[in-house]
Amino acid sequence: MNSPPPRTLVSSAQLNQPRGKIVYRVVLTLVVVVFTLVFIGPLYFLFSDGLKSTTEAVQVPPTIIPAHVHLSTYGSAWSRVGLARLLVNTLYYAFGALFFQLIFDVAAAYSLSRLRPFGGRIIFALMLATLMIPSTVLLVPQYVTVADLPILHLNLIGSPEAIWLPSVANAFNIFLLKRFFDSIPADLLAAAAIDGASPLRTLRSVVLPISRPILGVVSIFALVAVWKDFLWPLLVEYGYSPSRETLNVGIFEAASTTPQNLVLAASAMAAVPTVIFFLVFQRNILAGLTAGSLKG
Rounded to the nearest 5 percent, the helix, strand and coil shares of the chain are: 75, 0, 25
Exactly one of 26, 27, 84, 280 binds other proteins (CB under 8 A); that residue is 27
Asked if 125 interacts with other proteins (CB under 8 A), we say no
- What span, in angstroms and rounded, lies between the C-alpha atoms of 122 and 197? 28
Part in contact with other proteins (CB under 8 A); list of ranges 71-79, 91-99, 103-111, 208-216? 103-111
Asked if 39 interacts with other proteins (CB under 8 A), we say yes
- What span, in angstroms and rounded, lies between the C-alpha atoms of 54 and 66? 11
Exactly one of 1, 18, 144, 242 binds other proteins (CB under 8 A); that residue is 144
What per-residue string of b and e applies to 126-148 under the rule 16 or more CB within 10 Å gives b? ebeeeeeeeeeeeeeebeeebee
Exactly one of 139, 148, 204, 280 binds other proteins (CB under 8 A); that residue is 139
Asked if 40 interacts with other proteins (CB under 8 A), we say yes
Residue 157 makes CB contacts below 8 A (sequence gap 6+) with 146, 147, 236
Footprint of other proteins on 199-228 (CB under 8 A): 199-200, 202, 224, 227-228
Asked if 26 interacts with other proteins (CB under 8 A), we say no
- What span, in angstroms and rounded, lies between the C-alpha atoms of 179 and 230? 30
Asked if 143 interacts with other proteins (CB under 8 A), we say yes
Number of residues near other proteins (by CB under 8 A) = 112
Asked if 277 interacts with other proteins (CB under 8 A), we say yes
To other proteins, the closest distance from the beta carbon of 74 in angstroms equals: 14
- What span, in angstroms and rounded, lies between the C-alpha atoms of 166 and 97? 9
Residues 69/137, Cβ–Cβ less than 8 Å: no
- What span, in angstroms and rounded, lies between the C-alpha atoms of 21 and 15? 5
Asked if 112 interacts with other proteins (CB under 8 A), we say yes
- CB-nearer residue toward other proteins: 117 or 242: 117
Asked if 62 interacts with other proteins (CB under 8 A), we say yes
Asked if 91 interacts with other proteins (CB under 8 A), we say no
| DSSP tag of 245 | -
To other proteins, the closest distance from the beta carbon of 55 in angstroms equals: 10
Asked if 138 interacts with other proteins (CB under 8 A), we say yes
